[in-house]
Chain A
Amino acid sequence: MEWMVWTLPTAIFFSVIAAILLGMTTWELVSPSVERRGFLPIATTRGDRLFIGLLSAAYIHLAVVGFTDISIWFALGASVLWLLVLMRWG
């Protein structure tokens, strides 16, 4: 595994993603999700909202890193907040 050149931040990143996926699966097994309409223009399930949230979080990070001087931690905070809003009301 030496050639994969792991670093601590990326290891944490992938562990968090794996943990989220695992958590979502367990949640789905315990109480299956129902498709519903929130403020998004399409009907979504829990998993759809998670995907939309993660994808938009990636774009938020890119925008902050590429075109502003704001700290990346700010982007992370905003993304987590956005993800929570999306999961609850999306």
Chain B
Amino acid sequence: MTSSVPTTPESVRKQAAEAAALRRKRARNVTTRWRRRTLLGLYLVFVMLPIYWLLNLSFQTNSEILGSFSFWPQNFTVANYARIFTDANWYMGYVNSLAYVLMNMLISISVALPAAYAFSRFRFIGDKHLFFWLLTNLMAPPAVFLLPYFQLYYSVGLFDTHIAVALAHCLFNIPLAIWILEGFMSSVPKEVDETAYIDGYSFPRFFVTIFLPMIRSGIGVTLFFLFMFSWVELLLSRTLTATNAQPIASIMTRTSTASGIDWGTLAAAGVLTIIPGIVVVYFVRNHIAKGFALGRT
């Protein structure tokens, strides 16, 4: 209607005013959009700067790092990376870390799935207290448990094996997995279970073929968290290993020697610890948006 030719002076003024308001609104939308982008961009710069600096130093020789200050490598070198990939002591650290992280993910998810199902579907004696006790294990500071852990795993003969670290990380990873999965499972209506049982499914068959596919984004996010907390943990994994299963994080402390710190190698090793994380995020990127709400929305 507004596009029709105006006939009276009032309607001319009215139409002009409407057009002006529309223009102003559009302009405001554009400025807010740019302000949003700038703010987000600033935050991303803040996130990326330290990582960029690590990357920058990893491509420099030690003499260049200490000798001249530059925003990018002047004499680009991959010698730091070469040192890590040719020395078995170094690259086995990555293998060890990945080995115990994967074992831990496997153990945690396989015992957490049935337990989370029990918490989300049934009431039983002590359920609330058990759930709270599990959460307290998330809070237990590893520093408290270091020495008993060392002696416990030493006395059962598991010291300096991957499985020891994997089991130790279960302390906080299993409760976390149950907490996350319980949220996802509770958002699946109970009628699904009941219909399946009426259709003659047994519990294991229903659980594996119907229920698990329904919460697969939840499982993806849980695995992401399990990977994250096991990969980044240092105290327990360092205490429970000596040489055979030493994680990369503790090997990195070797870069500080009597003659000073080997900055280049330290930076290169740091860059390499970020890469598995990037791979994992890439795999779950489509689930993160939904899944991080942990089913509790």
Q: Establish whether A and B are touching in the complex (CB under 8 Å).
A: yes
Chain A nearest CB from B13 CB (Å) reads: 64
- Does B129 sit at the interface, judged by CB under 8 A? yes
Q: Which residues of B contact A28 (CB under 8 A)?
A: 125-126
Chain A nearest CB from B140 CB (Å) reads: 16
Q: Which residues of B contact A74 (CB under 8 A)?
A: none
Q: Which residues of B contact A15 (CB under 8 A)?
A: none
Q: Which residues of B contact A48 (CB under 8 A)?
A: 128-129
Q: Which residues of A contact B151 (CB under 8 A)?
A: 3-4
> Which of B126, B128, B155 has a CB less than 8 Å from the CB of A3?
B155
Distance of A48 Cα from B125 Cα, bound (Å):
12
- Does A25 sit at the interface, judged by CB under 8 A? yes
Q: How many residues of A contact B (CB 8 A)?
A: 9
Distance of A47 Cα from B123 Cα, bound (Å):
14
CB neighbors of A among B78-137 (8 A): 125-126, 128-129
Distance of A25 Cα from B127 Cα, bound (Å):
12
Cβ–Cβ contact A51 & B155, under 8 A: no
- Does A29 sit at the interface, judged by CB under 8 A? yes
Distance of A48 Cα from B155 Cα, bound (Å):
36
Cβ–Cβ contact B155 & A25, under 8 A: no
> Which of A4, A25, A29, A47 has a CB less than 8 Å from the CB of B128?
A47
Distance of A28 Cα from B146 Cα, bound (Å):
36
Distance of A25 Cα from B129 Cα, bound (Å):
12
Q: Label chain B's interface by main secondary structure.
A: helix
Cβ–Cβ contact B126 & A51, under 8 A: no
Chain B nearest CB from A34 CB (Å) reads: 13
Chain B nearest CB from A29 CB (Å) reads: 7
CB neighbors of B among A15-56 (8 A): 25, 28-29, 45, 47-48, 51
Chain A nearest CB from B174 CB (Å) reads: 21
Q: Which A-chain residue is minimally distant from B129 (CB atoms)?
A: A47
> Which of B126, B152, B154, B155 has a CB less than 8 Å from the CB of A47?
B126
Distance of A52 Cα from B154 Cα, bound (Å):
36
Cβ–Cβ contact B125 & A51, under 8 A: no
Chain A nearest CB from B122 CB (Å) reads: 15
Distance of A45 Cα from B128 Cα, bound (Å):
10
Chain B nearest CB from A44 CB (Å) reads: 11
Q: Which B-chain residue is minimally distant from A3 (CB atoms)?
A: B151
Distance of A29 Cα from B125 Cα, bound (Å):
8
Q: Which residues of B contact A29 (CB under 8 A)?
A: 125
Q: Which B-chain residue is minimally distant from A45 (CB atoms)?
A: B128
Q: Interface 1/0s, chain A 56-88, versus B by CB < 8 A? A: 000000000000000000000000000000000
Distance of A52 Cα from B259 Cα, bound (Å):
56
Distance of A29 Cα from B129 Cα, bound (Å):
16
Distance of A45 Cα from B127 Cα, bound (Å):
12
Q: Interface 1/0s, chain B 148-173, versus A by CB < 8 A? A: 10011011000000000000000000
Most-contacted residue by chain B among A3, A28, A48 (CB, 10 A):
A3
A-B pairs, top 9 by smallest CB distance, nearest first, are A3-B151, A28-B125, A47-B129, A3-B155, A25-B125, A51-B129, A47-B126, A29-B125, A25-B126
Residues of A at the B interface (CB closer than 8 Å) are: 3-4, 25, 28-29, 45, 47-48, 51
Residues of B at the A interface (CB closer than 8 Å) are: 125-126, 128-129, 148, 151-152, 154-155
Can you identify 18 A-B contacts, CB atoms within 8 angstroms? Answer: A3-B151, A3-B152, A3-B154, A3-B155, A4-B148, A4-B151, A25-B125, A25-B126, A28-B125, A28-B126, A29-B125, A45-B128, A47-B126, A47-B128, A47-B129, A48-B128, A48-B129, A51-B129
Q: A47-B126, A47-B128 are in contact. List 5 more A-B contacts (CB 8 A).
A: A25-B126, A28-B125, A28-B126, A48-B128, A48-B129
